[in-house]
Every structure is written in C-alpha cells, then in structure tokens.
Structure 1
Amino acid sequence: MKKDIISKELLKHIARDVARHILGIEIQENMELIDKEFTRIEKRDADLVFKNGDEIIHIEIQNANHARMHLRMHRYLSDMLFEYENLTIKQYLLYIGQAKCSMKNSLTKDDLHYRYAIIDMHTIDCETLLMSDDPSALVLTILCDFKDRDKQTVVNTILKRLRELSDDREYENYLKMVNILSTNRNLENEVKKGADMLSVDIEKTPFYQLGEQRGKQKGQKIGEHKGVLKTAITMIQEFQLSIEQVAQK
C-alpha cells in the first residue's frame, strides 16, 4: 500500500480503524497523523505514524514476507526515538499478504532485546469488523478469516453494508479498495458477483425506478422544447418572419 497515492485523510481513517478495531487502542479526538520521512543513509517512509495522547503509534502495512523485517522495524524505532524519546512508542506490523506470514517479530543480539507486534489479518475473525459502522473498517473485512462461513455471503454482506453507509461516490471508492484487497484472498470473482447483484437490486427499488422515469420524462420535455426552438429558427430564417410573428403561430 503506497502512501503517496492515498490521501492523508484516508490514512487517518485507516489508522483510526486499524487501531480501534484490530489493535484495541482507544483513539483520542486530537489524534495527529505524523507525515514523517526518516532519512539517514537511504530514504525510508513509515506507512502510518501518529501521535495519540502521550503515545506514538507506528503501523507498518506489509503485503509480502520480508526476511529482514525485524531489522527494518528496529531501524524505524531508532529513528522515532530521536524525535520522541520521552513518549511511549508502540509498533505494529499489519500483514495483509496472501502467503502464510513467516516474518520474525523480535531481535535478540548481545544485550539488545527488541520486539514488535505482528497482526496477521488471516487470523482475525471477520465478525470483528463485519458489524462495524466504519466503512474503511468494513473494507478490511475482506482480508479476515471467514472461518466456515460461505464466502459469497460474507462478501455480499460487506458490499451491502458499504452501500448502506456511504453515498454513490464513496461507495465506488470503497468498492475499488475491496477489489484491490480481494486479490490477496482470491475473492475477485465473489466481489464481482456481489457488486453485480447489488447493482441489480438497487435498480429494482421503487425510488430508483421513479428516478429513472422522471429522468426520461424530463429528457422527453427537453427534446420537445428543442424541437419547438428548431422550428421557430427555421421559420425566422426561411420565411423572414419576426419573433412576434413566430410567437403568434
């Protein structure tokens, strides 16, 4: 997940939802997203770093296993300590990949003892997020453990709730996110089928049909007006009539 293609506001929503629903962290109203680039030998961007009261929360989102991830996370910690030595720093790696998570979550060397938390979305029960009223939390449900639930039923529930909790534009954006994440769980077909079914259901609703009917009526009236205007222009041009004379006719 690349930070440069995600708006800061969306990052803030993701940070809130991941922290609240998955990590169990109580998020304060004055939570501040920190746009931090750590540079020493090479450019390094942490995915999500935010200040929550007297704590710094660092969430790294990983789509694939990385053999030296524990070293990278320790390096992030070292850099953050330079800036926030007096605050408590908590680090989490959110693994959303398809393969089984095999990354180390600790580093022990000589007198150094370091540990961070790995949250594998494979192990999160989808029920935890499925009943959430936060759309971005619902999006993450596609990555969770469905257990013995029917895949299509769960996907349909996710999409239906997203539809209920968002307007048309927001729903399209959330649907794109679900589509992208679904590839990590081989659920592309279920998402497509669910989205198609939901679209058909919406088109059957009385309000949708009434809107379609009114739209057609409005289009018909506009067409009639255009026809009258075109006839009037023809009469003025070909018969050299005045506007008043055309109006009388």
Structure 2
Amino acid sequence: MPNQYDKILKEILKDVIDTLIAKVIGLKIIKSTAIETKLQITNEREADYILLVEMEDGSSSLLHIEFQATNYFKMVYREMRYWIYLSEVHEIHPMQYVFYIGNVPLTMKDSISTETMNYKYNLIDMRDVDCEKFLYSDKPEEVIISILCNYQKKGVKIFVCRSKRRKR
C-alpha cells in the first residue's frame, strides 16, 4: 500500500517539482532533464574481516578491516558502501581500517567531502609501520607481518626459512 501512495504523490507533484526546486530549495536552474529513478543495483560484498569488539571502557563496536595491495582510486566509495551496509544491518557505525600493503607509493584517498556529506576511513600504509614491532616476536605470525612493513629503512634483512623434518 505505501508504494501505491508514493506513485500517486509522484504523479501529483511532477508538474510542480520545478517550483519546489526554485521556491523552496532556492536553486536557480536553467534546464533540468529527468533521468531514470529506479536504481537497481546488485552488489554483493565480502569484507576481509568484520569483528564485533568490546573495548576496555565497556563499549562495543564493529571493526571492519580490509587489506589492499594496489592503489584502487575508488577505494573511498567501496569503504563508504561497507559503512552504509554495516551501519544499516547491525545498527552500529563501524570503525574501518584499510591496510595498504602495496609496493608503490600510496595514492588512495581516505576521505570524501561534499557540500552535504563528509566520510572518512582509516588508511594505514604498512610501509610506514616500524617492522621492529613484529620482527623479534616469539610468534611466527607476527614475524610474518614484519615482511609487510618497510624494513629496508632499517637496513634489516629478513630471511624466511623452512625447516625440513627428518623422516623417522
């Protein structure tokens, strides 16, 4: 039933839309052209990591983490879609972090700003992270993370060895 009212309202107001634009919104438009109003988009996304986290202060949040190996110039739009989807589905605004692990300098934007909207996510260039945070760990998983950091600045050489087990 609500869809029927929408159709009736759109039909009634179609001849006065220009008046509303000029006299209520205040835009001085020379020409307008109607475009298709149906925005049918099939968009299935699979995030790298989405975690429900509890903070030390007792608060809860969603934590969304992505890893990106290339400079994707539309990354800010991808992350904004994730923010919208996660906020709508879980009714919690997510904290978002993208870890850039590429070899070339980072050029992706982490924000978009218009007259009516501002959006920003956290973009971390792993080449700026100190490899020593992970390099000397007793946990092999953490040592592997150090490979993603910029260890060349330190003059460090990393060797990954695989031990061969003897058959008994």
Deviation at 1:83, TM superposition (A): 1.6
* 2:100–2:106 contact (8 Å) kept in structure 1: yes
SS of 2:147's equivalent in the other structure is helix
CA RMSD for the aligned pairs?
Answer: 2.1
Measure how far apart 1:88 and its partner are. 4.4
Number of the residue aligned with 2:150? 145
Structure 1 consecutive aligned stretches of length 4 or more whose deviation exceeds 3 Å: none
How many residues are paired up? 122
Against the structure 1 CA distance between its residues 132 and 148, is the aligned structure 2 distance closer, same or farther, given a 3 Å change threshold?
A: closer
Alignment of 1:119 with 2:124, yes or no, is yes
Partner of 1:143, secondary structure, is coil
Query: Percent same amino acid among aligned pairs?
Result: 32
Deviation string for 1:122-145 (max 9, x for gaps)? Answer: 111110111333322221111111
Report the TM-score when normalising by structure 2.
0.65
- The 1-side partners of 2:82 and 2:66 are apart by 10
Higher alpha-carbon Rg: 1
Higher normalized helix content (fraction of residues): 1
Task: Give ranges in structure 1 of 5+ residues lacking alignment.
Answer: 1-39, 160-194, 203-207, 216-249
Q: How does 1:1-249 map to 2 (within 5 A)?
A: 41-53=42-54, 54-85=60-91, 87-146=92-151, 147-151=153-157, 155-156=158-159, 159=160, 195=161, 199=163, 215=168
Contact 2:86 2:93 in 1 (8 A): no
Q: Which has the higher contact order (CA 8 A, sep 6+)?
A: 2
Partner amino acid for 1:63?
A: A
Secondary structure at the residue paired with 1:72?
helix
Task: Name the amino acid aligned to 2:98.
Answer: L
